[in-house]
Amino acid sequence: MNSVTVTTSPSLALIKYWGKSSPEQNLPATSSLAVTLDGLETTTTVNHSSADRVFVNQIEADIERYTPFFNHFRRSANTRDRFEARSKANFPVSAGLASSSSGFAALALGCSHLTDPAIPLKSISEFARIGSASAARSLYGGFTVLQKESPYAEPLNIEWPDLRIVIAIVSNEQKSTSSRKAMEISRTTSPYYSKWLEESDLLFTKGLEALSNRDLKMLGPIIQRSYLSMFSTMLTSRPPTLYWLPQSVSLIHFCEHMRRQGIEVWETMDAGPQVKMICLEHKLSEILELLREKFPEIALIVSKPGGSPKL
Ligand code: PMV
């Protein structure tokens, strides 16, 4: 095989991973619970090459970001091959839409299939984690879990077809601080970081129970608590990291407003200004109508659980 093309989807954490137990090995310090977003896609073609090279949306990326992944891959897969990967996404990259999760998952899958199609998915998830821990989860469609300190993610046997995720694109600009850098600053400087680790254990256990019961009334407040606790470590780090923009805050208030009207919708955010809102299918059109009326300038993407990798 000379070339392989794969498609993967980003992994949105409902219960967040933030901080590393081992920065060298990129092992997560908290357990995360996530959904792979159907319809948002990264498509990557991987070829053998004389040197490792990565192109994202036709622009050559700084290879330093990818070197730990390629070196780990070669060691683990027992190969000396080098790779060229060309990747494109149908959504904004490096803007807090988890493009690194689908990006590294696609790269790991592509390199693995090119080297040895029999490499198990669990190992590919582990390779992807070296690039970006959330990428370990993007190797599976639907709901996934990445346990703290675990080298690989696993799929959850949960079906919730009527769950919907509305993504409000507040800004298309690339973020100025990478999640990798921001979480290291949180870990090393925030006085609340140890409290975050403690709380995220509890949120993970409760979140898994609510997700297994497909109970959005129970899950919603846990989703909200998880991202707000995660951001509390960013706001209290030195220097502080603030990914939110004024429109992000307006959307958070608007979700609260919709809930007061009896509409079950819960927001979450990641390392960027975008706001992702979780609801059920039967409330989707009402929520979209209200959002379009209040924020006509903001583009909305609707997704649902899915997004299994395609070869
Ligand atoms: O995997 P990374 O380094 O892109 O970090 C992901 C961090 C969050 O998106 C904020 C949370 C998560 O669990 O995906």
List the chain pLDDT tens, one digit each, 311 residues: 789 999 999 999 999 999 999 998 999 999 999 999 999 999 999 999 999 999 999 999 999 999 999 999 999 999 999 999 999 999 877 666 778 899 999 999 999 999 999 999 999 999 999 999 999 999 999 999 999 999 999 999 999 999 999 999 999 887 778 899 999 999 999 999 999 999 999 999 999 999 999 999 999 999 999 999 999 999 999 999 999 999 999 999 999 999 999 999 999 999 999 999 999 999 999 999 999 999 999 999 999 999 999 99
CA 293 to ligand 1 center in whole angstroms: 31
Could you give the CA distance from residue 230 to residue 176 in angstroms, rounded to a whole number? 18
Distances (CA, A) of 57 to 95, 99, 227, 294: 14, 12, 29, 32
Distances (CA, A) of 150 to 4, 17, 105, 155, 170: 28, 12, 16, 14, 33
CA 12 to ligand 1 center in whole angstroms: 8
For ligand 1, whether the C-beta of 32 sits within 6 Å is yes
CA 262 from centre of chain: 29
CA-nearest residue for atom 8, ligand 1, is 270
193-212 and 179-189 helices, crossing angle to 10°: 120
For ligand 1, whether the C-beta of 13 sits within 6 Å is yes
**Among 11, 179, 230, which residue has the most ligand 1 atoms within 8 Å of its CB, making it the best to mutate?**
179
Instruction: Specify the ligand 1 atom closest to the Cα of 96.
Output: 9
CA 133 to ligand 1 center in whole angstroms: 7
CA 18 to ligand 1 center in whole angstroms: 7
